[in-house]
Amino acid sequence: METNRSFVLRAVKDVVLEDRPVPVLKGPWDVRVHVAQTGICGSDVHYWQRGRIGDFILSSPIVLGHESSGTVVEVGSAVKNVKVGDRVAIEPGVPCRRCDYCRSGSYNLCPDTVFAATPPHDGTLSKYYNTQADYCYPLPAHMNMEEGALVEPVAVAVQITKVGKVKPNQTVVVFGCGPIGLLCQAVSKAYSAKKVIGVDISQSRADFARTFGADDVFVPPVKPEGKEDTVWNEEVAHIMRGKFNLGEGPDVVLEATGAEACIQTGIHLTKKGGTYVQAGMGRENVVFPITTACIRGLHIRGSIRYTVGCYPTAVDLIASGKIDVKRLITNRFKFEEAEEAFELVRQGKESVIKVIIEGVSV
């Protein structure tokens, strides 16, 4: 009898491979996908290590994973956009579609979203995953399943640049050269930003960013001994303005680290009337230069997940060759090695950018 092999988080730091029942379709718009590839995101590791992100708290076992592609193997009676055999990218959050947020297009804010691997909902690291047909996006024939899995982080970057209203001929500074920061840089360039600067404390990641999406990169100098943090972070902004001829500052700053130092430097760096987008999540509370933000008249926005159009745009950016996501993959694992893959991501090595797990074979 066939089972649904799954990578299950039972409790904090307690994961196991488990044979579960094959999921059955519950509605006419449901589809069952045979998962082919799954990327590991920092949020997956966070739940594994700490059991919570903000208000989302692990209270019962869940399957991990939410960056996936696969092949449709079963469809409900009303499904028209995909058919059995279609290769698809899976958008991992299905909203209610009826609340004011959904009806306005901001379905990322829907309080009733069923989001993969966010407690109490199961994720995609299973042989089969059931979802709604309209949250599956067919892949062009020339895109492979690894590229399909990485549509998800590209869609996150598309949303961040959308929130930042990145436009042609702008100067954009991105704090962080991890997967999301790199993709924000690449999306900004795809949108014809004039100058894109990547910032990271890792020289090797900054060097990679220069070859991927950034026109230039910046590795902050070490803080002088005895210098107060907030004073130094403001000085770093001045250093960056001079080094890159930024004048009053960049038009847009995209913060993808969550580090307090980057947040402070980013606010001081953004030009008057410019836009600062917070996408990275670190400590829940940080020291924030609010007076500077007010005096400079900054537009400060938060970015979470994706909204209308982000997933189709992400598929197009990859399919067109404008973003080569394959270059981000540094490590590949078999499904049975999922815990090793998570451990590698947890270690946070500079050489590791994106780790991907192959699905359970038929």
- Condensed to tens digits (0 to 9), the pLDDT of residues 310-324 reads 999 999 999 999 999
Query: Which amino acid, one-letter code, is at 179?
Result: P
User: Which CATH class for the 155-302 domain?
Assistant: alpha beta
| Alpha-carbon span 91 to 209, nearest angstrom | 26
Average of per-residue pLDDT across 232-259 = 98
pLDDT at 190: 98
Average of per-residue pLDDT across 340-358 = 96
pLDDT at 269: 98
For 119-151, the pLDDT digits (tens) are 999 999 999 999 999 999 999 999 999 999 999
> Which parts of 33-150 fold into alpha helices (H)?
42-50, 100-103, 145-149
Domain boundaries, the chain: 4-149+324-358, 155-302
pLDDT above 90 as % of the chain? 96
* 54 pLDDT above the threshold of 90: no
pLDDT at 55: 85
Tell me which of 3.30.360.10, 3.40.50.20, 3.90.180.10, 3.40.50.300 is the CATH number of domain 4-149+324-358: 3.90.180.10
**Cβ neighbours around 7 below 10 Å, total:** 26
For 145-187, the pLDDT digits (tens) are 999 999 999 999 999 999 999 999 999 999 999 999 999 999 9
Report whether 168 contacts 191 (CB < 8 A). Answer: yes
| Alpha-carbon span 180 to 163, nearest angstrom | 14
* 51 pLDDT above the threshold of 90: yes
pTM, two decimals, is: 0.97
